[in-house]
């Protein structure tokens, strides 16, 4: 890993939170994601199971966390399972964690090797009544793809058919949605690296620059600041390509008079930042570009004011759509008749603002959490309204990340240029 060691208290705190939610005499088992083959003997980059990372901080393959708080043998109430170090394997792949190193990262004192697990697990299972098994229940998951996590679930249920099985994901959805101060400290580091990358490209962008050259500048800034990688596919869409929400080709020239929509974020310590800024390629917004940008910013700030405990994300979205209607009417994109003829299910602004207002953020860019229950202190959301006008070949989106506080929210990107004047000043430097 490139990032510096995280505070072990983060993972100790997370395990304590999960254990409090477990039923009496229950065991919880969490698996690492497998290394997946690409072509030949190549492998895809491992993005570790977020639940395993949340509990232990360990990203090494074939790791497991087992929690059994009522185990009669106190030594095995928290267990971290890792690969046994192998001299030959390490010659090919590099260093593997020792038990001491694994404890230092996770705070779990009992560490065993994977080849020791089966015999120990059988004894624990015979005493436990409830078993929490971990499956991916992110609402955005593509469930049509065969899943390794379900293979382990089915195998364990076959071996121990009379146990009472529970879904760890139900607990995780509640707990992971609320970030501790330890987690937000790491998120802030991802945000700060992303901020540095934006300031770098603000000075770099000019007419004639290629989109992929901007991506290279961002990647350079990420890696030199110990980011693991991009948190998601970097979007650098100049001109009319900004209306394509997930444009990732990044292979066109940025031309004089165009805007460029940049949506990127650093992953640091396995936590993800998520930023969007739309800036003028030549360093100066035209009058019309400024009008549309300011309309989008007004919606962004409106949603920011509403983001507080007690509200639901659906309520905030509905209010933001109403504000978007007003702003689009003000700048002549919508007409009064459009708003008059809209329906609650299809607001007039949806022709020009055709994606969600934002999402939970954390270990995953689209982190787990609900949208129709009351927002709670500690949750982290993105707010990212956009305006996309085909007739004017323009797309604008503005996105920051917010940690919900007792009475409102804290903008993790608060130091970032966001107004047209601030962006133009950053580009002049």
CATH code (residue 87): 3.40.350.10
User: C-alpha distances in angstroms, 360 versus 157, 177, 335, 353, 384?
Assistant: 32, 7, 33, 19, 12
| Structural domain includes residue 361 | yes
Asked if residue 287 and residue 364 are part of one domain, the reply reads: yes
| 169 and 198 belong to one structural domain | no
Q: In the chain, how many domains are there?
A: 2
Q: What is the predicted pLDDT for the residue at 46?
A: 82
Residues 61 and 55: their CA atoms lie apart, in Å, by 15
Which pLDDT score, from 0 to 100, does residue 138 have? Answer: 80
Q: Are residues 95 and 216 in the same domain?
A: no
Identify which of 198, 181, 192, 255 has the alpha carbon closest to the alpha carbon of residue 227.
192
Query: Domain check: are 172 and 195 in the same one?
Result: no
In a domain, 225, yes or no: yes
Dihedrals phi, psi of 414, to nearest 5 degrees: -60, -25
Comparing CA positions, the residue from 353, 257, 373, 357 lying closest to residue 311 is 373
The Cα–Cα gap between 155 and 147 comes to 13
Asked whether residue 270 falls in the same domain as residue 161, the answer is no
398 and 422 co-located in one domain: yes
Identify the burial level of 154 via C-beta atoms within 10 angstroms of its C-beta, where 0-12 means exposed, 13-18 middle and 19 or more buried: exposed
Is 1 part of any domain? Answer: no
Parallel, antiparallel, or unpaired: how do β-strands 266-268 and 271-272 relate? antiparallel
Q: How far apart are the C-alpha atoms of 427 and 284, rounded to whole Å?
A: 9
Q: Are residues 115 and 195 in the same domain?
A: no
In a domain, 3, yes or no: no
Residue 2 lies in a domain: no
Are 282 and 353 within one domain? Answer: yes
Domain assignment present for 119: yes
Domain that holds residue 292: 181-428
Same domain flag for 220 and 368: yes
286 lies in the same domain as 299? yes
Give the dihedral sign, CA 423/382/138/77: positive
Question: What are 401's two structure tokens?
Answer: 């990340």
Confidence at residue 192, expressed as pLDDT on a 0 to 100 scale: 98
- With respect to residue 4, please indicate whether it lies within any of the assigned structural domains: no
Name the residue among 284, 275, 277, 244 with its Cα closest to residue 260.
277
How far is the C-alpha of 52 from the C-alpha of 221, rounded, in Å? 28
The residues, ordered by sequence, that sit 6+ positions from 236 with a Cβ below 8 Å of its Cβ are 211, 212, 214, 215, 247, 250, 260, 261, 262, 264
Neighbours of 401 (CB within 10 A): 28
In whole angstroms, give the CA distance from residue 69 to residue 168.
15
Rounded (10°) CA dihedral 290, 293, 295, 297: -130
Domain finish residue from 176, 208, 236: 176
In angstroms, the CA 255 to CA 206 distance is: 8
Locus of tokens 């929490």:
132
**End of a domain among 132, 158, 176?**
176
* Rounded average pLDDT per 10-residue block, the chain, 429 residues: 94 98 98 84 85 97 97 97 92 93 98 96 96 88 78 93 96 97 98 98 98 98 97 97 96 98 98 98 98 98 98 97 98 96 93 97 95 95 98 97 97 97 95
Do 345 and 321 belong together in one domain?
yes
Of the residues 121, 148, 176, the one at which a domain ends = 176
For residues 221-252, one letter each, b for 16 or more C-beta atoms within 10 angstroms of the residue's C-beta and e for the rest, the string is bbeebebbebbbebbbbbbbbbbeeebeebeb
Q: The pTM is what?
A: 0.95
Residue 369 lies in a domain: yes
Q: Are 19 and 172 in contact (CB under 8 A)?
A: no
Query: Do 116 and 248 fall into the same domain?
Result: no
* Exposure letters 159-174 (e unless 16+ CB within 10 A, then b): eeeebeebebbebbbb
Phi, then psi, of 334 in degrees rounded to 5? -105, 155
Three-state SS string across 329-384, please?
A: HHCCCCCHHHHHCCECCECHHHHCCCCCCCCECCCCCCCCCCCCCECCCCEEEEEC
What's the CATH number where 308 sits?
3.90.230.10
């Amino acid at each position: 890993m490139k990032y510096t060691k995280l505070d072990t208290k983060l993972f100790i705190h997370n395990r304590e939170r999960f254990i409090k939610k477990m039923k009496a005499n229950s065991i919880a088992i969490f698996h690492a994601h497998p290394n997946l083959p690409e072509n030949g003997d190549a492998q895809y980059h491992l993005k570790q199971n977020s639940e395993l990372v949340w509990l232990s901080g360990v990203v090494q393959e074939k790791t497991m966390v087992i929690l059994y708080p009522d185990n009669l043998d106190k030594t095995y109430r928290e267990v971290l399972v890792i690969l046994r170090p192998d001299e030959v394997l390490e010659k090919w792949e590099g260093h593997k964690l020792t038990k001491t190193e694994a404890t230092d990262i996770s705070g779990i004192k009992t560490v065993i090797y994977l080849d020791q697990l089966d015999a120990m697990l059988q004894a624990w299972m015979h005493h436990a009544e409830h078993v929490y098994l971990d499956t991916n229940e992110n609402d955005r998951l593509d469930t049509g793809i065969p899943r390794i996590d379900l293979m382990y679930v089915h195998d364990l249920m076959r071996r121990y058919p009379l146990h009472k099985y529970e879904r760890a994901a139900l607990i995780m959805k509640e707990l992971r949605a609320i970030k501790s101060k330890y987690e937000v400290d790491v998120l802030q580091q991802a945000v700060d690296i992303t901020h540095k990358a934006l300031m770098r490209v603000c000075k770099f962008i000019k007419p004639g620059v290629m989109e992929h050259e901007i991506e290279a500048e961002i990647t350079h800034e990420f890696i030199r600041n110990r980011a693991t990688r991009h948190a998601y596919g970097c979007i650098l869409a100049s001109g009319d390509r900004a209306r394509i929400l997930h444009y990732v080709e990044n292979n066109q020239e940025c031309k004089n008079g165009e805007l460029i929509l940049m949506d990127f974020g650093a992953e640091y310590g396995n936590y993800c930042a998520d930023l969007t800024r739309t800036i003028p390629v030549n360093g100066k917004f035209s009058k019309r570009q400024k009008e549309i940008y300011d309309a989008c910013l007004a919606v962004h700030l409106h949603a920011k004011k509403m983001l507080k405990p007690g509200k639901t994300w659906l309520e905030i979205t509905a209010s933001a759509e109403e504000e978007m209607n007003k702003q689009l009417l003000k700048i002549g994109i919508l007409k009064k008749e459009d708003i008059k003829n809209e329906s609650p299910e299809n607001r007039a602004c949806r022709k020009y603002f055709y994606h969600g207002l934002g999402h939970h953020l954390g270990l995953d860019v689209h982190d787990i959490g609900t949208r129709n229950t009351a927002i709670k202190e500690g949750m982290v959301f993105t707010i990212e309204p956009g305006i996309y006008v085909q007739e004017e070949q323009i797309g604008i989106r503005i996105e920051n990340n917010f940690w919900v506080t007792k009475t409102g929210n804290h903008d993790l990107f608060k130091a970032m240029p966001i107004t047209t004047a601030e962006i133009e000043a950053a580009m002049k430097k």
